[in-house]
Amino acid sequence: SLAIYPWPTETRETLSLDGIWTFRITDYSFNNELYGFQHHWFNQSLDLIDEHYERMPVPSSFNDITEKRKIRDFVGWSWYDRKFFLPKNYHSNDNDIIIRFGSVNYKAIVWINGNHIINHTGGHLPFQTIIKKDYLHMDNGNENHITVAVNNELSHNTIPQGSYKIKNDTRTKSNRKFIESNFGFDFYNYAGIQRSVLLYFVPKIRITDLTIITDVIDQNNGIIHFNVTTNIQQQQQDKFIVQIDVFDRYGKLVNSSSGKSEGSLIIPNVHLWWPFTMHSEPGYLYRMSISLYHSIEMNKLIDRYYQNIGIRTIHIDKENYQFLVNGQPFYFRGFGKHEEYDIRGRSLDPVMIIKDFNLIKWIGANSFRTSHYPYSEQIMDEADIQGIVVIDECPAVGLSAFNPILLKQHLQTIREMIERDKNRPSVFMWSIANEASSGKIESENYFQNVSELARQLDQSNRPITAADNQYNQDYLPQFLDVIMINRYYGWYSDTGYPQIIKENLINDFIRIWKKYQKPIMISEYGADTISGMHQQPSIIFTEDYQSEIMIESHQAFDQLRSKGFFIGEHIWNFADFMTQQSLTRVGGNKKGIFTRQRQPKTSARLLRCRYWMLANITNHDYHD
């Protein structure tokens, strides 16, 4: 299961294949996008075909690394390869070798030593497979060769949707061809091997899945329900024993269970997992060790895996339209984000991850939405550890035409996202879509299917939500527990008139609440802002206008909050981010509170005052 991350333990080892790989695109000069397949590129070193190859870091998006427009804008099959040795002691009949890709956007086909091992579709979630030992060279002097073909082409059948036109410039003799992209979303379709590639050496008999659900029994006692899956065959079951130990943050054993793969453990004097600012020790994690022993030789350890656990409850108070964490009302304050940075695109990057978490805490936010696709496991780990709440969004952004193939892919991303993130205390809601054309009647059946699957898969019953921007007919909210609304008064409508924002927001949200009778939050509002640009009275694109939009909106939010159903505010966006080129995007979307380099605009100070005020913490030090 994707819930088991390749952590090394006493019985498991990890070997990273990250580093510099060889990369090449199937250039137009081949005149055939399947050229690489037809010429068996998976059987040869990509840097030996001809001189048209690049050195390419993994993980990274390939787009902004080279100085070539044709690579940045490339659409189609690109190829990666590298070589690696396997340490001799991994050649054992008692283990399996798993290969795991954190994410490859959008489609991936993988070969080891010319042997095809896995295909995957979908750009933002992990995939893994066991590599057959016959495919690997373990003996002296034999290097292994891994090849990955990547396709970043989007269509009406992909999540998210996009389309391409091959344009032929017939005005001139040269008849130049180029590809025009048209995405159904407002961010750059960064592509490549964007997260780590890991080899995972695991015992043949092992723990294969783990589901954790937590609850609170009374003032002092928490409870952990666990369900461990192994790959032990039915008739072998009694030869093995599952031992569970739970330790507190300081390494002290707090409870154990022996012989049960499914059960519950009481946690006395429980220290709950609290969001940042709600407790002096937010993000408190217990550590569970899951061990598999031989039942006859009780001290023979077969496998061990560790899982961080945050004990907390989340509920929706249907009478008062409140979102409760550990029985306390929770008000979401934070951002829609992107997982993207200068040069590296959507690459996994620990430097940027920690920088962003530091900014989130500096500004006093308590949450973010993984707009518009699931973020890396390292980001999610940090959210668990630091007590930052996550609205986990699947990659379904801007869906406009619905069909069965699309639905199938959507269901797959829901399945992979929930499988990967189900045990995370930081995940408070699943967001199943952003700004879908849910005014269309076909969307009703579609979203019924999507929401039902999400409910069925998450045994801990997290609320289901979606970011919605329909006005009148809307088939989506009926399937949601919490409604998220994206609204841009003073920007996309009434451009340049911030004075209309407050009343319109109030009317709008009260109307939506009366209609659907569910908790509501605003998941996007904002204005494109060029850092350093000022004017008074403000005009659009100035820092002053962004600040004014916020001041007007915040007044509306305060009034709505007093009515009870309004459970949060996420500004769009945490930082400026890249988009495809268009006449409304000057080097990307500039709605960030921070620039793309993570420096604050005026709006960041404003938001910082507000978020700390909402946190009810007035004594934090502005000069820290």
Q: What residues are annotated to the active site?
A: 435
Q: Spell out the residues 6+ positions from residue 464 whose beta carbon is closer than 8 angstroms to its own.
A: 429, 430, 432, 451, 454, 455, 479, 480, 481, 482
Residue 380 beta carbon to ligand E9O: minimum distance, rounded to whole angstroms: 20
Q: Is 7 in the site for ligand E9O (CB under 6 A)?
A: no
Q: Which stretch binds ligand E9O (CB under 6 A): 60-68, 316-324, 485-493, 601-609?
A: 485-493
Question: Residues near 251 by Cβ (< 8 Å), separated by ≥ 6?
Answer: 287
The 298-327 site mask, x for binding ligand E9O (CB under 6 A), equals ------------------------------
Q: Are 66 and 54 in contact (CB under 8 A)?
A: yes
How far is 305 from 302, CA to CA, in rounded Å? 11
Q: Which is nearer to ligand E9O, 458 or 524 (CB)?
A: 524
Min CB(579)–ligand E9O separation in Å: 7
Subset of 414-453 contacting ligand E9O (CB under 6 A): 435
Kindly state the number of chain residues that form the binding site for ligand E9O, as judged by CB under 6 A.
Answer: 12
Decide if residue 497 touches ligand E9O (CB under 6 A).
Answer: no
Nearest partner of 77 among 23, 133, 13, 11, judged by Cα: 23
Nearest to 348 by CA among 392, 368, 370, 378: 378
- Nearest residue (CB) to ligand E9O, 244 versus 521: 521
Q: Does 107 participate in binding ligand E9O (rule CB under 6 A)?
A: no
Task: Choose between 152 and 486: whose C-beta lies nearer to ligand E9O.
Answer: 486
* Residue where the block lists tokens 């992107």: 338
Q: Show the site string, 110-129: x = touches ligand E9O by CB under 6 A, - = not.
A: --------------------
User: Of 230, 486, 542, 595, which lies in the binding site for ligand E9O, with binding defined by CB under 6 A?
Assistant: 486
Least distance between ligand E9O and beta carbon 405 (Å): 24
**Between vectors from CA 461 to CA 219 and to CA 418, what angle results, nearest 5°?**
120
DSSP-based three-state secondary structure for 584: coil
Least Å from the CB of residue 434 to ligand E9O: 6
When the beta carbons of 78 and 469 are compared against ligand E9O, the nearer one is: 469
Q: Should residue 274 be labelled a site residue for ligand E9O when binding is judged by CB under 6 A?
A: no
**Distance, CA of 550 to CA of 593 (rounded, Å):** 11
Min. distance of Cβ 493 from ligand E9O in angstroms? 7
Nearer to ligand E9O, 395 or 600 (CB): 395
Residues 16-75 that bind ligand E9O (CB under 6 A): none
Our CB check for ligand E9O shows the closer of 372 and 608 to be 372
Q: How many Cβ atoms are within 10 Å of 67's Cβ, its own excluded?
A: 7
Binding residue for ligand E9O, selected from 64, 186, 339, 419, defined by CB under 6 A: 186
- Regarding 576 and contact with ligand E9O (CB under 6 A), the answer is no
Outline where DSSP puts E strands in 318-426: 322-325, 328-329, 332-336, 367-369, 389-393
- What is the C-alpha radius of gyration for the chain, rounded to an integer number of angstroms? 25
- Residue 70 makes CB contacts below 8 A (sequence gap 6+) with 25, 27, 28
> Measured from the CB atom, is 127 or 183 closer to ligand E9O?
183
Site for ligand E9O in 578-597 (CB under 6 A): 589, 591
Q: Nearest distance from residue 397's CB to ligand E9O, in Å?
A: 6
Strand 127-130 and strand 115-121: the pairing is unpaired
Binding mask 363-402 for ligand E9O (x = CB under 6 A): ---------x------------------------------
Q: Is 452 helix (H, G, I), strand (E, B) or coil?
A: helix
State the binding string over 502-541 for ligand E9O (x if CB under 6 A, else -): ----------------------x-----------------
**What is the largest distance, in Å, between two alpha-carbon atoms of the chain?**
82
Instruction: Label residue 290 exposed, middle or buried (CB < 10 Å: 0-12, 13-18, 19+).
Output: buried
24, 79 Cβ separation under 8 angstroms: yes
Residue 277 near ligand E9O by CB under 6 A? no
- Is 364 or 526 the residue whose CB approaches ligand E9O more closely? 526
| 356 binds ligand E9O per the rule CB under 6 A | no
Pairing type for strands 314-317 and 322-325 reads antiparallel
Min dist. Cβ of residue 524 to ligand E9O (A):
5
Q: What is the rounded distance in angstroms from the CA atom of residue 80 to the CA atom of residue 150?
A: 8
Lookup: tokens for 255: 């409870």
Stretch that binds ligand E9O, among 128-136, 302-310, 486-494, 496-504 (CB under 6 A): 486-494
CB of 264 to ligand E9O, least distance (A): 42
Cβ closer to ligand E9O: 187 or 200? 187
Residue in 350, 328, 322 with CA at minimum distance from that of residue 273: 328
**Any contact of residue 492 with ligand E9O (CB under 6 A)?**
yes
| Residue 349 three-state SS | coil
Residue 368 CB, shortest distance to ligand E9O, in Å, is 14
Chain CA centroid to CA 596, Å: 19
| x-or-dash string of contact with ligand E9O, 207-246, rule CB under 6 A | ----------------------------------------
Closer residue to ligand E9O in complex, CB, 272/522: 522
The residue nearest ligand E9O at its CB is 186
What CA–CA distance (Å, rounded) separates 620 from 616? 10
- What is the C-alpha to C-alpha distance for residues 320 and 518, in angstroms, rounded to an integer? 9
Tokens matching residue 236: 């072998």
Rounded least distance, CB 190 to ligand E9O, Å: 14
Long-range contacts of 356-359 (CB under 8 A, 24+ apart): 356/574, 356/575, 356/598, 357/382, 357/386, 357/388, 359/574, 359/594, 359/598
Cα separation, 383 vs 386, in Å, equals: 5
Query: CB 370 → ligand E9O: shortest distance, Å?
Result: 12
- Closer CB to ligand E9O, 239 or 585, in the complex: 585
Q: Which of 509, 511, 340, 324 is closest to 429 using CA atoms?
A: 324
> CA 133 to CA 105: how far, in whole Å?
27
Cβ–Cβ under 8 Å, residues 52 and 70: no
Q: Is 488 in the site for ligand E9O (CB under 6 A)?
A: yes
From 175-183, 383-391, 484-492, 542-550, span contacting ligand E9O (CB under 6 A)? 484-492
| Residues near ligand E9O, by CB under 6 A | 185-186, 372, 435, 469, 486, 488, 492, 524, 572, 589, 591
